[in-house]
Amino acid sequence: MNRPPTFHAGRAHPAPIVAEPWRLPPVTVLLVAVVLIAGAEVGGASMVRFKVDLTRWARGVMLARPAVHGLVGVRDVDERVLDEALVKFDGGLRLFHIHAEGMGLVIIATTTVAATLVSSAPARPAIIALLTVGGAGYPLGYLLWAGLIPYVGLERGKAIAEWLVWIPFGGATILGLWWLSGALAFRLVRR
């Protein structure tokens, strides 16, 4: 983007300063982000369209595993347990929808910043890879948790999703973001 010409003693002194143009990250990164956002939207639509079927399925799986969910055969007790688990099941799907939408945008924005402003050749692809893999994987943890709740219960499902998905992929995103922040801070200080 050029600065408009400055005027001195009635004459224009064009002083073009070409700012660094934004560079896009690799097309594969953009593809991952767009597919993630599209998946989030399909997930959101499916939650509404198939709400009754999903609830029926989850409830059926839970009733088939009474020991896992602490079902005792007393309606008043069991309905409260089932309701809580179904609310968390629905919550997991919602959280997938929200996080996948958001992380898709985070991937696009942060990898574009990295592609443009990280000058170190080894660091740039590493940061982009961490942000892409971390951002794409993290929301899947909520899908996994929701899917596991009927089979293994709330807490065990959460623990599995945490260790298999949220911690590694969330950790990758956090590492990528701090590395990017460090690279930007270094660039500022170096100027």
Using left for φ > 0, alpha for ψ between -120 and 50, and beta otherwise, residue 70 falls in: left
Q: Which is nearer to another protein, 37 or 183 (CB)?
A: 37
Helix (H, G, I), strand (E, B) or coil at 5: coil
Q: Which is nearer to another protein, 104 or 141 (CB)?
A: 104
Helix, strand, coil % over all residues of the chain, rounded to 5:
75, 5, 20
- Residue among 15, 42, 72, 87 that touches another protein (CB under 8 A): 42
- Residue among 27, 67, 74, 121 that touches another protein (CB under 8 A): 27
The position carrying tokens 């660091």 is 123
CB of 78 to another protein, least distance (A): 25
- Residue among 5, 12, 15, 38 that touches another protein (CB under 8 A): 38
- CA 154 to CA 70: how far, in whole Å? 11
Q: For the chain, how long is the longest CA-to-CA vector? A: 93
Cβ atoms of residues 94 and 140 within 8 Å: no
CB of 26 to another protein, least distance (A): 8
- CA 168 to CA 137: how far, in whole Å? 9
Between residue 50 and residue 109, which ones bind another protein under the rule CB under 8 A? 101-102, 104-105, 108-109
CB of 73 to another protein, least distance (A): 30
Give residues in contact with another protein (CB under 8 A).
24, 26-28, 30-31, 34-35, 37-38, 41-42, 44-45, 48, 101-102, 104-105, 108-109
